[in-house]
Amino acid sequence: MDGIKIIKKPRLKNPCLLVAWPGMGEVAFNAANHLVESLNAQEFAQLIPQDFFFLSASIVEAGLLKAPQAPSGKFYYWKNKSAGSDLIIFISSAQPDLSRAEEYSRFIIHTAKAFKTKTIISFAAMPQPIDHSQQPNVWAAATSREILDKLKRFNVNVLSEGQISGMNGLFLAIAKAEGIDGFCLLGEIPLYTIQIENPKASYAVLELLSKILNIKIDLSGLVEQAHVMETEINRLLEYLKLGPQIAGPIQEEEIEKIKKSLSQLTKLPLSVKERLEKLFSQARADLSFAHELKAELDKWNVYKDYEDRFLDLFKKASDHNN
């Protein structure tokens, strides 16, 4: 198959396809990787990436520049020894350029069709006004009423309206147009930690998936990661709350500001950086894109980091009009 490098051709029984890309809280990406590790799933194919990703930076090592490697996209399979369906798991290390997302998705879907896949599953994050110490709920959206009714049996929260951004949501819409139904499980993450890995949310979506598919998944690794992450956040908040003794402890409202700023502890996912750069480029050519750009900056709590560049768009537009 053009665009796909086949390593082996496993014989699979009514497989479900699970797909994942990096995104907020790395909920989907980490959950899918943990699933591969827990099930000891085997790689069987790779998606050839060069036509779908546009390099936007260079790598510096020891002062020397070099071109970055193209993102990887790998297919894994797992054979279910019980009566249930086998699994195909596709994981990409980055989201493709949005202009190529539909074509990219069809390569994956056509590969799934070759194995007679009937259902596609994705994960995503759902930012909510919750605290990092809370146990996250899981929400769900499906491409058909029949699938949604089945999910309701597991007491899942139904996402009745809104949107699922990025490839973790877009892929299902494209799959539905291609004749394959599916569903997305969304794990809640605190609004102030969207850039921090959230193993607790990854645990929540995998725990629910294990019930839906009736398969056993070892989640102990994610439990440990979640404990470490929560401990580190608590330690940082406590330190900042106490502050230097000569200045006295900071107030509770300051803690809320600190929580919001915790998103700066980690880097933006590559796909988000590329999305922001593309919007900046579009806004320079057409200022009407500035509203969409501002919304994206606010969503990721990085407006302050890009404020000068954002305001410069309007300065240049004013100078051009004069």
In this predicted model, what pLDDT tens digit does every residue of 59-89 receive, in sequence order?
Answer: 787 788 887 777 889 999 999 998 889 999 9
Residue 90 inside a domain? The answer is: yes
Domain range for residue 87?
13-220
The answer to whether residue 305 sits within a structural domain is yes
Helix H or strand E segment including 16: strand 16-20
**Same domain, residue pair 78 and 183:** yes
Asked whether residue 202 falls in the same domain as residue 287, the answer is no
The separation between CA 115 and the C-alpha centre of its own chain, rounded to angstroms, equals: 25
- The domain that contains 209 carries what CATH number? 3.40.50.10900
Residue 4: inside a domain: no
* Contact between residue 58 and residue 65 where contact means Cβ atoms under 8 Å apart: yes
- 13, 64, 88, 172 from 1: Cα distances, Å: 21, 38, 17, 22
The pLDDT of residue 261 is: 55
pLDDT digits (tens, 9 = 90+) for 134-166: 899 999 999 999 999 999 999 899 998 888 878
The rounded distance, in Å, linking the Cα atoms of 39 and 220 is 13
* 99 or 293: which leads in pLDDT: 293
211 inside domain: yes
Quick: pLDDT tens for 4-37: 898 999 999 999 999 999 988 899 999 999 999 9
If one counts the domains in the chain, the total is 2
Q: Is residue 27 part of a domain?
A: yes
Q: Is there a single domain that holds both residue 186 and residue 287? A: no
Q: Which of 220, 242, 257 is the last residue of a domain?
A: 220
Instruction: Give domain status of residue 145, yes or no.
Output: yes
Same domain, yes or no, for 42 and 119?
Answer: yes
Question: What sign has the CA pseudo-torsion 75, 93, 132, 219?
Answer: positive
Are 276 and 216 within one domain? no
Query: What pLDDT, in 10s, does the model give residues 201-243?
Result: 999 999 999 999 999 999 999 998 898 888 878 877 776 665 5
Angle between helices 220-242 and 252-261 (to 10 degrees): 130
Whether 109 and 203 share a structural domain:
yes
Q: Is the same domain home to 70 and 194?
A: yes
Locate 40 and state its tokens.
């000891």
Question: Which residues in 86-166 belong to E strands, given as ranges?
Answer: 87-92, 119-128, 138-142, 157-158
- Report the pLDDT averaged over residues 237-262: 58
The answer as to whether 60 is a domain residue is: yes
Q: Are residues 204 and 299 in the same domain?
A: no
Question: Do 81 and 200 share a domain, yes or no?
Answer: yes
> Six-digit token pair at 311?
């305001």
Domain identity same for 55 and 155: yes
Distance from C-alpha of 281 to C-alpha of 287, rounded to nearest angstrom = 10
Distance CA 36, CA 117 (A): 18
C-beta neighbour count of 282 within 10 angstroms: 15
- Kindly report the CA angle at 131 between 128 and 134, in degrees rounded to 5? 100
Task: Using the predicted structure, report yes or no on whether residue 255 has a pLDDT greater than 70.
Answer: no
- Contact of 19 with 35, CB cutoff 8 Å: no
Q: Evaluate whether residue 248 is within a structural domain.
A: no
- Choose between 213 and 2: higher pLDDT: 213
Same domain, yes or no: 153 and 279: no
Give me 198's structure tokens.
């959230």
Question: What is the percentage of the chain residues whose pLDDT exceeds 90?
Answer: 45
Q: Which of 199, 220, 241 is the last residue of a domain?
A: 220
Domain boundary residue, one of 157, 192, 220: 220
Quick count: other Cβ atoms within 10 Å of Cβ 130? 17
Q: Are residues 215 and 285 in the same domain?
A: no
Classify strands 181-190 and 138-142 as parallel, antiparallel or unpaired.
antiparallel
